[in-house]
Structure 1
Amino acid sequence: MKLRLMVISVAMSLLFTACQKQSTLVVPISQPKQQTLVWIHHFDEEGARKWLELGTQLFTKKHPSYTFTLTGVDGGNYMSLLRTRAISNNMPDMYMIDNLESAQDLIRTGYALDLTHQPFLSQIDERFLSGVKSADGQIWALPIDVNGAGVIYNKDAFAKAGIQHPPTTWAQFIEDCAALRKVGIVPIAAGYKDSWTILWDIAADLLANQHAAARNWMADIEAGRTSFAEDGIHFKDILKRFGERLTYVNAEPFETDWIQAQLLLAQGKAGMIINGTWTVDGVKSKNPASNLGLFAFPYSNDPDDAKFGLKSTGGIVINAKSPNKEAALQVLELFASKEVGTIFQTNKKALSVIKGLPNDFDPTYVELNDTYIQTGKTYDWSRLPTDFLNQDLQKVFINALTKFVLDPNHNVNLCIKELDQAFDRIRKPINDSR
């Protein structure tokens, strides 16, 4: 009898254990739902893309329930794409802007989240918040870097041409162009197949003269408060200098794109590119051993005028209508950290706006830091535009500059006359003063 009871007891125990195991197998294990953040940008340079990839991977590691879709768009079509997506209510969770002025329509229609009181902004150098702040003090983007407008040059190419130091006057600049060409080096690389580079070939000159005149001349032109012919910031001289140096660009510049132009500089086949400091990333992505330097565009024959334009405007924007905006705020908190700032400077080869990071992280920037930043030979162009907000006027401006390049005589007066006529057809002049 005892044996029978023992057998029954053991059998029940086994049955109970089996039931326990079976019930454990059928209980579902809850997994956090994975969400995807869509981030659209206009970075072409490998280092900038690497920064985005590494930064978002770091976030995903810390927050496994999130993943990212990073979409790069050609800079020339970038804002048009964003506006098309806004119209169709298909905006990404996050996106980049270059400046607040060009993104006012996106801000007005609710596609930008107000970041004014976010704690992570305390990690940003206060000097660089003005470029993302509207007149009422609201902050609409997380700034990421300090952009400069000037000349990027290949030090080895300069040495081969016997140029001992960068030019500080316009006369020296032209002499150096001749010296480079004499030893078989293209003085200035031009990638006009990408039309935005034409604008940036004159941007450093245009910005320096707007700053010298303490005037937002492009806004005045756009509003009809002045004309090209009135020559308020010596635009005729800007065009004249452009025409003078066009003889020193590579053959068939309209058959050469931006990537090919950077490659010419990376290989030492060209001596200079006149553009923004982001060019350093693009060139070093193609040849990490490139021995590059930076110098201010010398628009006059007074060495004291040769100042390097630096600014921080625009940055990372969160779509206020995004269902993932809380997660996006956490992304910005990470991207405002020294950890990601170091990733940025290491890969993008650009000056970060994050506090406590060095200015001499790359040999190219040592020269910029020593020659210009530490000596106060810089100016802030965060409130000065390089583009017209009205896209019809912008197209006219690009087309006029293109025609000027193609004109073998580089006729300054004709270009200015045609610009004024075309602008008058598009916008209605007003007589208010600023």
Structure 2
Amino acid sequence: MKSRIISLGISVLMVLTACQSQNVTKVPRSQPEVQTLSWVHHFDEEGARKWLEIGTQLYSKQHPSYTFALTGVDGGNYLSLLRTWAISGNMPDMYMIDNLDTAFDFIRSGYAMDLSNQPSLANIDERYLNGVKSADGRIWALPIDVNGVGVIYNKDAFAKADIKEPPKTWQQFIEACEALQKVGIVPIAAGYKDAWTISWDLAADLLVNQYVVNPTWIADIEAGKTTFKDNQIQFKEILGRFGERLKYVNHKPFETDWNQAQMLLAEGKAGMIINGTWTIDGVKSKNPASNLGLFAFPYSTDPQKAIFGLKSTGGIVVNPKSPHKDAALQALDLFATQQLGNIFQTNKKALSVIKGLPKDFDPTYIELDSTYIQRGKTYDWSSLYIDFVNQDLQKIFINAITKFIIDPSHNVDTCIQELDQAFKQQRRASK
């Protein structure tokens, strides 16, 4: 036995010596190449970006061969930039959409995957799938949150102005603006340097009137089936109320951007912002101690008509032409879990569409739930729009409203006349 061991040792030594004489290099086992998924979004708020970062980092930890390149784009230029990429064939692996109707060109050009049979949808509250579903029943995006549109207010500013409760009528709203102004607080923060905020300043009034009168008003105007002058949804009154409250916005609103407007509310220097519920994230990222509340835009003399708009439309889209589409679908599965839903609500300060999550993650939403949701004082604006699909018409609309804001008299009739003339000319030019 001993002689065998000696013999084996000599043999091994001879093999090693032979390898050394041939200068053999030991090659380490190769590691898989790391693939990068591109994900484009328009989130400006810190909490939304943090949710994306945490989620994608968690995915990369579970799948070490993948990493993400997250690109944030200004909301006002977002769709235009996506369309430019689509034309050039440089669409990202994943991207966000806000509204299905305004994104149908991406579906038609093959840049949106049909998600109808994906397992991630099983975790989504069925009520919130209509906003990402086409007429044929197919689903094109994974919804992420329930968006509201109304008035975000600083409770401490209201208390300083001795406003006991949020206004429920238009007259009460004007009285609240006067009370805030008397104590040196800007009643309404406006960041018109970012043009997209102009649409949203109108939205709370525009949407509820569309909901009550004609949900297809935007499409009808665009198609020339009706005009602004026809006043089908009381657009003249909507514009009149907008002009009336413009005297309560901050000084030089066109030199104030969205971040600065949010800071005014965060610091209690302004009492209100009229916009979407995503504002809560933006304001609290600037001042976590902000004592915020939400109330429905009180456009009527009837307090019962003060209802809060809630919806879920758009979400995460997967590019089926992506070489990483399978990994992107796995990422959807992760972002549809309760774990990421809780991270979303905690950081983005918004209601998630994922089943089984609590609504008491933030005091602002506790108030929204008790005042509006539980009392049935909400309306679904999933099928309602504030923007025109035709981008030329949208630019005309924003330019006309901008001119209306700058005009010291805020002349409603002149604005409506110019809108109808410009829309008519653009329709003719498009034929």
TM-aligned CA distance change 1:199 to 1:26, over 3 Å? same
**Take 1:281 and 1:311, find their aligned partners in 2: how far apart are those partners?**
17
Q: Tell me the equivalent position of 1:169.
A: 169
Matches within 5 A, 1:17-416: 26-416=26-416
SS in 1 for 2:248: coil
**Take 1:58 and 1:4, find their aligned partners in 2: how far apart are those partners?**
58
SS in 1 for 2:403: helix
- The structural deviation recorded for 1:12 is 3.1
- The structural deviation recorded for 1:5 is 10
**Take 1:200 and 1:146, find their aligned partners in 2: how far apart are those partners?**
16
- Comparing 66-75 with 18-27, which one deviates more in the overlay? 18-27
Q: Tell me the equivalent position of 2:11.
A: 12
**Take 2:19 and 2:168, find their aligned partners in 1: how far apart are those partners?**
84
**Take 2:217 and 2:177, find their aligned partners in 1: how far apart are those partners?**
30
What amino acid is the match of 2:109? Answer: T
- Comparing 233-242 with 17-26, which one deviates more in the overlay? 17-26
**Take 1:227 and 1:209, find their aligned partners in 2: how far apart are those partners?**
16
- The structural deviation recorded for 1:323 is 0.6
Preserved CA contact (<8 Å) 1:98 1:315: yes
* 1:368-390 CA-partner distances (Å, limit 9, x unpaired): 01000111000000000110000
SS in 2 for 1:152: strand
What amino acid is the match of 2:248? Answer: Y
TM-aligned CA distance change 1:282 to 1:6, over 3 Å? closer
- Comparing 47-56 with 27-36, which one deviates more in the overlay? 27-36
* 1:168-218 CA-partner distances (Å, limit 9, x unpaired): 000000000000000000000000000111111110100000001143211
- The structural deviation recorded for 1:13 is 3.5
Gapped runs of 5+ residues in structure 2? none
TM-aligned CA distance change 1:227 to 1:61, over 3 Å? same
TM-aligned CA distance change 1:320 to 1:8, over 3 Å? closer
**Take 1:162 and 1:348, find their aligned partners in 2: how far apart are those partners?**
30
SS in 1 for 2:38: strand
What amino acid is the match of 1:299? Answer: Y
What amino acid is the match of 1:258? Answer: W
What amino acid is the match of 2:163? Answer: I
SS in 1 for 2:197: helix
SS in 1 for 2:222: helix
**Take 1:165 and 1:253, find their aligned partners in 2: how far apart are those partners?**
27
Preserved CA contact (<8 Å) 1:224 1:428: no
**Take 2:62 and 2:157, find their aligned partners in 1: how far apart are those partners?**
45
What amino acid is the match of 2:49? Answer: R
What amino acid is the match of 2:142? Answer: L
Q: What is the number of residues matched between the two proteins?
A: 428
* 1:28-63 CA-partner distances (Å, limit 9, x unpaired): 403122110000000000000000000000100110
**Take 2:193 and 2:8, find their aligned partners in 1: how far apart are those partners?**
87
- The structural deviation recorded for 1:14 is 2.9
What amino acid is the match of 2:159? Answer: A
What amino acid is the match of 2:13? Answer: L
- The structural deviation recorded for 1:358 is 1.1
**Take 2:5 and 2:325, find their aligned partners in 1: how far apart are those partners?**
64
**Take 2:5 and 2:388, find their aligned partners in 1: how far apart are those partners?**
93
SS in 2 for 1:76: coil
Q: Percent identity?
A: 71
TM-aligned CA distance change 1:10 to 1:333, over 3 Å? closer
SS in 1 for 2:79: helix
Preserved CA contact (<8 Å) 1:185 1:269: yes
TM-aligned CA distance change 1:326 to 1:23, over 3 Å? farther
Preserved CA contact (<8 Å) 2:215 2:383: no
Preserved CA contact (<8 Å) 1:293 1:364: yes
TM-aligned CA distance change 1:129 to 1:245, over 3 Å? same
Q: Tell me the equivalent position of 1:432.
A: none
**Take 1:4 and 1:89, find their aligned partners in 2: how far apart are those partners?**
73
SS in 2 for 1:247: helix
Alignment RMSD:
2.0
**Take 1:18 and 1:83, find their aligned partners in 2: how far apart are those partners?**
65
Gapped runs of 5+ residues in structure 1? 430-434
**Take 1:319 and 1:38, find their aligned partners in 2: how far apart are those partners?**
10
